[in-house]
């Protein structure tokens, strides 16, 4: 029985045919699923690119914040010396102190936004990438389910499937009988 409703595009067996394990028995239309897979693979590639972009952006922002803080700290220390010598006012020293605190705050902000060991902005993009990957895998599984294969060797003992027919999910279309263990003991007339 098909797992999904759809149009039958191939029926590769007839009533009484012997089949082997894994042989394709029936194929439903996979075009819509293929198109959706292609669309979601593009979304996966976009998510991968977004994750790489987020990593590069975070690295750049972090390095800039480190340099900004180090520079602000050096400037503040210089102004402390200049203030002690009377070369700058208290207001100018306070301005340098404020710039140092702002730079330290920006650096701390980047350092504390982690999910585990990964910055939150990168973790978010990686999660979106993983989600897009799972969608593609799910659709590929759905496409594979539109192709009915023989679960074991046997003989087709029931067939209610024609090319072009629409089938609903879980509707019996084929029966496969395992005749490997059958032993028949019966009288047969000589003419038969």
- Which residues, including other chains, have CB under 8 Å from residue 72's CB and lie 6 or more apart? 96, 99, 100, 102, 103, 104
Quote the crossing angle between the two packed helices 31-84 and 90-112, to the nearest 10°.
150
| 24-46 tens-digit pLDDT | 999 999 999 999 999 999 999 99
Closest by CA to 172, choosing from 187, 185, 156, is 156
Compute CA 133 distance to the chain's CA centroid, rounded to the nearest angstrom: 1
CA distance 30 to 139: 10
The reported pTM is 0.72
| 112-146 tens-digit pLDDT | 988 888 999 999 999 999 999 999 999 999 999 99
């Amino acid at each position: 029985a098909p797992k999904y409703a759809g149009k039958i595009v191939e029926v590769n067996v007839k009533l009484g045919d012997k089949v082997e394990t894994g042989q394709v028995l029936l194929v439903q239309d996979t075009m819509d699923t293929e198109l959706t897979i292609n669309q979601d693979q593009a979304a996966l590639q976009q998510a991968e690119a977004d994750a790489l972009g987020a990593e590069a952006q975070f690295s750049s922002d972090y390095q800039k914040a480190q340099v900004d803080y180090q520079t602000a700290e050096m400037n503040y220390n210089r102004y402390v010396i200049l203030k002690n010598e009377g070369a700058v006012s208290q207001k100018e020293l306070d301005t340098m102190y404020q710039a140092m605190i702002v730079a330290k705050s920006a650096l701390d902000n980047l350092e504390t936004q982690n999910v585990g060991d990964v910055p939150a902005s990168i973790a978010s993009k990686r999660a979106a990438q993983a989600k897009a990957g799972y969608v593609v895998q799910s659709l590929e599984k759905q496409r594979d389910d539109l192709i009915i294969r023989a679960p074991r060797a046997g003989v087709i003992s029931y067939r209610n499937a024609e090319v072009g027919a629409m089938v609903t999910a879980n509707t019996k279309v084929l029966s496969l009988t395992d005749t490997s263990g059958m032993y028949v003991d019966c009288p047969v007339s000589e003419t038969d």
